[in-house]
Amino acid sequence: MAKVHALKGSKKLLNAWAFYDWANSVYSLVISSAIFPIFYGALFRVAEIEKVTVFGVEIARAPLISYTTSAAFVFIAIVTPLVSGIADYLGNKKIFLKFFCYLGAASCIGLYWFSLKHIYFGLVCYFFGLVGFWVSFAINNSYLPDIAYSEQQDGISAKGFSLGYIGSVLLLLFNLSMVLFPSFYGLTDDVGLPAEMKAMKISFLSVGIWWAIFSQYTFNNLPKGYKRQGERRNVVLNGFKELKSVWHQLGNEIRLKRYLVAFFVYSMAVQTIMLIATYFGEEEINWGSDEKRTIGLILSILIIQLIAIGGAYLTAFISNKIGNIKTLITVNLVWVLLCVYAYFVKTPTDFYIAAGLVGVVMGGIQALSRSTYSKFLPDTTDTTSFFSFYDVSEKIGIVIGTLIYGVIAQWTGSMRNSTIVLGIFFLIGAFLLTRVPKSKA
């Protein structure tokens, strides 16, 4: 007997969708932002080297992980629309959601064996961890117009991000306790591997297990998806055909097209900041010692996560009063001021203040951007392919943003100068949002 899923707009269905953020956000916090960047740097410091040989070329640690990240996002930008088109055509996007969820979770577990000796295996795990997180996140986003009515989307989108912040902070606190007090957990130093680094490796295991287990609630309650009509020949090629079809439809959707252009510009800055914030803090702030650096960076990330919970709901509340576009314009202008402030940040206290201010607007701009796009979609069941455009815009923006940031930092000799350029992106984004029509007409 087939399982009967909850109806669109029901509390059970909305909560199941939002709960995937609880499951997968531990990756973006523990792996992308907190523990892995610190572990990666410590790995080279313990070995007392700055470069490794990869594919016959000697590469420094920072460019190596940067190139791997860029390659992953190029791959994600190609795969996401392909998978989205196939999923909509087959009417079973949940199976793809599961596949990329488990791929990401398994890759996180694989990071436990990340070492300079097995650098290729480690980079592959890092690569597919990114792929699993972002592609499954894109597919889950595409469910939003399927499971929630227009008036529900701002609230449930904000709830999803908030659940993600809460869940990831809880796991990070546990991981942080292991890093700070490894002896309490029975971890001791080995030759070439301090107890603190052992704790970091265990944190990678915890992320993979958390992600795989908590996603089951979402999988058990989300529907398969809508099945496309017509013959099912050349399914792989049809994924690209669906993407082309969406591109043509955008020509008639002026509001949606202009919003996507604005989103591409300011999201480029948002996602770049999320990816480089820890590296900026490690390089530009005078912490005093390695231990203070580790504690300070993780504490800063916790501040961002905790404040972002309220920030997401605050932004949703304001958008309900003055509208989504006006709220996004305001948030972009706040980001401009934050980028200028970041240029002058030098002490740990300065960095903590910046982290708190970032938290206010970080969750809000992500949640509201997602729900605004969902509201602007035309009446269609082809939601996965439309959301692939949203996610591809974001991923291409990440590649461009991180590249520009790195080039400016290398050219000028300081990461601070790059923050001003990101501020300009936010300013342009705010201007482009003013050009988004109030109605579809």
Of 41-45, 243-247, 336-340, where does the model show the most confidence?
Answer: 336-340
Q: For residue 43, which of 118, 107, 94, 133 has the smallest C-alpha distance?
A: 118
How confident is the model over 402-439, as pLDDT tens digits?
778 777 776 776 778 888 888 999 999 999 999 988 76
What pLDDT is stored for residue 108 in this prediction? 95
Structure tokens at 365: 């701009």
Domain ranges of the chain: 11-433
Class of domain 11-433 as given by CATH: mainly alpha
The answer to whether residues 85 and 385 touch, using CB atoms and an 8 Å cutoff, is yes
Looking at residue 232, its pLDDT comes to 56
Inform me whether the pLDDT recorded for 149 exceeds 90.
Answer: no
Average pLDDT (312-319) is 85
pLDDT band at 92 (very low <50, low <70, confident <90, very high): confident
- CB atoms under 10 Å from CB of 392, counted, come to 21
Burial of residue 105, with CB atoms counted within 10 A of its CB: 0-12 exposed, 13-18 middle, 19 or more buried:
buried
Nearest C-alpha neighbor of 50 from the set 65, 31, 72, 30? 65
pLDDT at 30 over 80: yes
User: d(Cα 126, Cα 135) in Å, to the nearest integer?
Assistant: 14
Q: What is the pLDDT of residues 235-282, one digit of tens each?
A: 666 666 666 777 777 777 788 888 988 998 998 888 888 777 777 777
What pLDDT score does 13 carry? 86
H helix or E strand, kind and range, residue 172? helix 150-180
Place of tokens 């998806």: 225
- Angstrom CA distances, 239 to 73, 80, 155, 230, 295, stand at 19, 10, 31, 14, 46
Q: Is 182 exposed, middle or buried (0-12, 13-18, 19+ CB in 10 A)?
A: buried
* CA atoms of 393 and 303, how far apart (whole Å): 28
Q: How far apart are CA 47 and CA 24, in angstroms?
A: 32
d(CA 144, CA 91): 16
Most confident of 57-66, 76-85, 168-177: 168-177
Average pLDDT over residues 358-385: 78
The pTM assigned to this predicted structure is: 0.77
**How many Å separate Cα 276 from the centre of its chain?**
12
Return mean pLDDT, the chain: 82
Q: List Cβ neighbours of 80 (8 Å cut-off, separation of 6 or more).
A: 134, 135, 138, 388, 391, 392, 395
As a whole number of angstroms, the distance between CA 300 and CA 20 comes to 25
Q: What is the pLDDT of residue 239?
A: 60
Residue 354 has pLDDT above 80, yes or no: yes
Residue 150 pLDDT greater than 80, yes or no:
no
pLDDT at 99 over 90: yes
Decide which of 19 and 253 is more confident: 19
3-state secondary structure of 48: coil
